[in-house]
Structure 1
Amino acid sequence: MDPVTIGALGFIVLIAMVMIGVHIVFATAITGFLGIVILKGWTVAVNIAGIIPHSTGSNYLFSVLPMFILIGFFAHASGMVQGAYRAARAWMGWMPGGLAVSTVLAAGAFGAVSGASQATAAVFARVAIPELLKFKYNPTLSAAAVAASGTLASLIPPSAALVVYGAIVDQSIGRLLLAGFLPGIFSALLYAGFILLRFSLNPELGQPIKGISWEERGRSIGGVLPILLVMLMILGGMSTGWMTPTEAGAAGATIVFAYALIRRKMTLTGLNSSLIETANLTIMLFSTFWGVFIFSRFLAFTRLPTEIAEWLVLLPYSPTTILIAILAGYAFLGMFLSASGMMLLTLPVIFPAIVELGIDPIIFGILVIKMVEIGLITPPVGLNVYVVASIRRDIPIGGIFRAIWPFVLIDVLTVALLILFPAITLFLPNLVLGAG
C-alpha cells in the first residue's frame, strides 16, 4: 500500500474516532503514532512521540495562550462585563432595539478581554437576557443575539482561536491578532445594524429605554475604560514592537487583576478558581497540540497534504472559487466539530494547498475563524446556542435556532465582503507591522 493511501485511511480513521466520541488528543495521537509505526517503524514512532511534547511545551510561541486565557477569567471575576453592559445600555438603550444593540457592543468589548466565545455567551446569557426580558424583548431573538454576539470573541484580540491557527500553520501571532480587530468590529457593526433595522420595522419586538440622564451616561463611561486600557495595551504593545504577544497578554492580565483588586472583586477563592481554570484549559490545549503534531508528522511522511495541494492547484477553477469551496466545507464541519477540533484536524491537510494557490495565510486565517463562528451558531451542534439554552431553560432551543439564521446570513455577508475587500483584514497589520 502506497503512503498516500495510508495517509487517506489514517485521516478517515481519525474522523471516525472523533465522531464516535474519542477525545481529539487521543484520536490524533493514536492515529498518528500507529501510522508512523506502519510507515517508518516502531523506533522512529517512539522517538517522534517522545520529542514532540517537549518541543511543543517549550515553544515560546505557545506561552501567549495561558496569558490570554487568564485575562478572560480575571475579567469575569472583576465585573468588567457588567460595567461594559451598563455603559452600552446607557448610551444605546433609547434606540430601536437599543438594548439588544447594547448587548452586541458590550459582548464585543468583553471579547476584547476574554477571547473565548462560549465564555462570552455564557456571561451575557446571565447578565443581558434578564434585562432584555424585563423590557419585553422577544425571548428567542434576545437569546439569538446573545449567542451570535459571543462569537465576536473569536476574532477580536486577544483571541485564543487565532493563536491556535497561528500555532498550527506557523504564522505570526502578532499579525493575526491585529488582522482580527477590524473584521471583528465590522461584524459587530453589521449585527447592530441588523437589529436596528429589525426593531425599526417591528417595534413590538422590544421597548426602548427612556429617561436615561446624561449624568448617568457620563458615569457609565468608567465601566469601559479598563477594557479600552487592556485593548490598547495589547494592540499598542504589539504594534509598536515594545511587547511580544505573550508580554502583551501578561501586561493585560496584570491590568485586569489590578482592576479587580482595586474594586475589591478578587477574592482568594476567585483567584484560585481563575488560576486553576486557566491551568486546566491550557493543559487541554497543549495536550491537543501534542496529538495533532504527531498526526501532522504522520501526514508529512505520507505526502497526503502535498498531493491534495497539487490536486487543488490543477483544478480548472480560480483560487477564489476553490477558497469558497474550502470555506463551505468548514461551514459544514462547524455543525459537528468544535472550533479548535475543526482547525486542528483540517489545517495540516488544507494549508499547503492555500499556500500553493497564492492565498494570503493571514486572510485565510481570518476567514477560517469567521467560518468557525458560523459553526458556533448553526444547528445541529451550535455550541453557543446550547450554552445560552442551558442557562436559560425557559427559552426553547428550537426557537433560538430559528431566530439565529439572520445572524448566520450576516456572517456569510461578512465573509463575502472580506474576500472581496482583503484590505479590511490586512490594513491594520500592514500599517503597524509592514506588509512583509
Structure 2
Amino acid sequence: MSPEIWGALGIVALLALLTLGLPIGVALAAVGAGGIAILVTPEAALIKAGVVAFETIAKYELGVLPLFLLMAHLCFAAGASRDFFDAAARFIGHRPGGLALASIAGCAGFGAISGSSLATAATIGSVALPEMRKHNYSPAFATGALAAGGTLGALIPPSGALIVFGIIAEQSIGRLFAAAVIPGLSQALFYMIGIYILCRIWPELGPKTARVPWRERLPALRRIIDIVALVMFVVGGLMVGWFTPTEAASVGAAGSFLLCAIRGALTRAAMTKALSDTLRTTGMIYVVIIGAILFSTFVSLTGITGHMSALVADLDAGPLAAVLVMTLLLLVLGSFLDGLALMLLTAPIFLPIIIDLGLSPIWFGIFLVRTMEIGFVHPPLGLNCYVIHGIAKDIPLGTIFRGIVPFLAIDFVHLAVIIAFPAVTLWLPKVLGA
C-alpha cells in the first residue's frame, strides 16, 4: 500500500483508539510509532521513540508547564476562585443576570490563573452555582453560563493549550499569549452582552440581587488585587520580553508561593496537594507531547499534508474557503474528541496547509484553541457540561445542554469574527513586538 493509504488508516486507527477511551498520549504514541515501523523499519521506530522521549523530557523550554501548573494550584489554595467571583458579584450582581455576569467575570479572572477549561468550569461552578440557585436562576441558564464561561480558561493567558500548541508547532509562547488577550477578553464580553440581552427580554432567567453598598465592594476588590497584580506582571512581562516563558513561569510560581504564605494558606496539606496535582498533570502532558511528536513524524512520512495542500491549491478556492472547511472538520471532530486530542490530531495536518496559504501560524493557534473550546460545550461530548453536571447531579444533563444553546450561538459569532478579522489576534503581538 502507498504511504498515503497508511496515513489515512493511521488516522482512522487513532480515532478508533480515542473513541474506545485509550489515553490521548498512549494512542498518539502507539499509532505514530506503529506507522513509522511500517513505513521505515521497527528499529527506526524504536530509536525515534527513544530520542523523542529523551529530548522532550530534557527540553529546557518544557519547564514552563510544571511551573505554570504549580502557580495555578498554589493560587487555588489561596482561595482565588471564591475571591474572583465574590468581587464580581458585589459589583454587578444587582444587574439583570448579575450573578451569571459575575460567573463569566470570575471565569475570566480565574482562567488567567488556571489555564484550563475544565478546572475553571469546576472551580467557579462550585462557588457560583449554589448562589445562582439560591436566587432562583433558571437551572438551564445558570449551568449553561458556567459551562460556557469555563472555556475562557483554555484561551486567556497563561493558557495550557497555547503552551502545548507553541511547543509542538515551534511557535513563540509569548506571541501566542499576546495574540490571545483580545480574543479572550472579547469572548468574555460577548458572553456578558448575550447574558444581559437574554435577561432583559426574559427577567426570570436571572433575577436581580440586592445592590451591595460600596463599603462592602471595596474589600472584595482588595482581596483580588494581589493575584491580579501577579498575573499581569508574569504574563505582561512575558509578552513585552522581560522574561522568557520559563523565567515567567518561575516568577509566577515563586510569586504564588509568597502570596499563599501572606494569605496564611501555605499549609503542609495545601503544599502536598499542589505538588502532587502538578506532578500528575505534568506527567500526563509530557506523555501527550511525546505521542504528538511521534504521530506528527508519522504523518509527515506519509505525505498526507503535501497532498492536502496541493488539493487546496488546485481548488483555487482561496484561504477563506480552506479555513471554513477546516472549521467544519474541527467542529465535527470536536463532537467526539476532547480538546487536547483534537488539537494534537489536527495541528500536524492543518498547520503546513495554513503556512502554504500564507496565513499566520500564530493566528492559527488562536483559531484552533477557540474552535477547540466550542468542543468543550457542544453535544454529545461537551466535557464542561459533564463537569457542571457533576457539581449539580440533580440537574439533568439535557437541561444543561439546552442552557448552552444561546452560548453556542455566541461562540459561532465570535469564531466568525476571528476568522474574518485576523487583526483581532495579530494586532497586539505586532504592537508589543512579541
TM norm structure 1: 0.97
Amino acid at match of 2:241: G
How far is 1:279 from its partner? 0.6
Contact kept? 1:140, 1:396, Cα under 8 Å: no
2-structure distance, mates of 1:308, 1:420: 23
SS in 2 for 1:377: coil
Pick which of 79-88 and 39-48 moved more.
Answer: 39-48
Task: Go from structure 1 to structure 2 and tell me whether the alpha carbon gap of 1:206 and 1:18 turns closer, same or farther (over 3 Å shift).
Answer: closer
Write the deviation string for residues 104-123 of structure 1: whole angstroms up to 9, x where unpaired: 01110010111111011111
How far is 1:363 from its partner? 1.1
Pick which of 42-51 and 320-329 moved more.
Answer: 42-51
| Alignment match, 2:323 | 323
SS in 1 for 2:309: helix
| Alignment match, 2:228 | 228
| Alignment match, 1:418 | 418
2-structure distance, mates of 1:348, 1:160: 18
How far is 1:286 from its partner? 0.5
Write the deviation string for residues 7-60 of structure 1: whole angstroms up to 9, x where unpaired: 222222222222222222222222222222222212222211111101111222
| Alignment match, 1:84 | 84
| Alignment match, 2:28 | 28
Pick which of 43-52 and 376-385 moved more.
Answer: 43-52
Matches within 5 A, 1:136-175: 136-175=136-175
Matches within 5 A, 1:99-178: 99-178=99-178
Contact kept? 1:78, 1:257, Cα under 8 Å: no
Contact kept? 2:90, 2:212, Cα under 8 Å: yes
| Alignment match, 1:387 | 387
Contact kept? 2:137, 2:206, Cα under 8 Å: yes
Write the deviation string for residues 272-331 of structure 1: whole angstroms up to 9, x where unpaired: 111111111111011111122112212222222222222222223121111011012111
Pick which of 310-319 and 116-125 moved more.
Answer: 310-319
User: Is residue 3 of structure 1 aligned with residue 8 of structure 2?
Assistant: no
Pick which of 64-73 and 373-382 moved more.
Answer: 64-73
Matches within 5 A, 1:197-216: 197-216=197-216
Amino acid at match of 2:111: G
Write the deviation string for residues 111-147 of structure 1: whole angstroms up to 9, x where unpaired: 0111111011111221001111111111121111111
How far is 1:183 from its partner? 0.5
2-structure distance, mates of 1:249, 1:133: 37
Matches within 5 A, 1:36-55: 36-55=36-55
| Alignment match, 2:272 | 272
1-structure distance, mates of 2:239, 2:403: 39
Ranges in structure 2 where 5+ consecutive residues have no aligned partner: none
Amino acid at match of 1:80: A
2-structure distance, mates of 1:300, 1:203: 54
User: Is residue 359 of structure 1 aligned with residue 359 of structure 2?
Assistant: yes
Pick which of 334-343 and 151-160 moved more.
Answer: 334-343
How far is 1:350 from its partner? 1.5
| Alignment match, 1:238 | 238
User: Is residue 98 of structure 1 aligned with residue 104 of structure 2?
Assistant: no
| Alignment match, 1:409 | 409
Amino acid at match of 2:432: V
Contact kept? 2:93, 2:211, Cα under 8 Å: no
How far is 1:266 from its partner? 2.5
Amino acid at match of 1:280: R
Task: Go from structure 1 to structure 2 and tell me whether the alpha carbon gap of 1:356 and 1:211 turns closer, same or farther (over 3 Å shift).
Answer: closer
How far is 1:245 from its partner? 1.5
| Alignment match, 2:285 | 285
Write the deviation string for residues 351-398 of structure 1: whole angstroms up to 9, x where unpaired: 111111111111111111111111000111100000000111121110
Task: Go from structure 1 to structure 2 and tell me whether the alpha carbon gap of 1:280 and 1:415 turns closer, same or farther (over 3 Å shift).
Answer: same
Amino acid at match of 1:42: P
Contact kept? 1:112, 1:227, Cα under 8 Å: no
- Aligned-pair identity in percent equals 38
Contact kept? 1:308, 1:353, Cα under 8 Å: yes
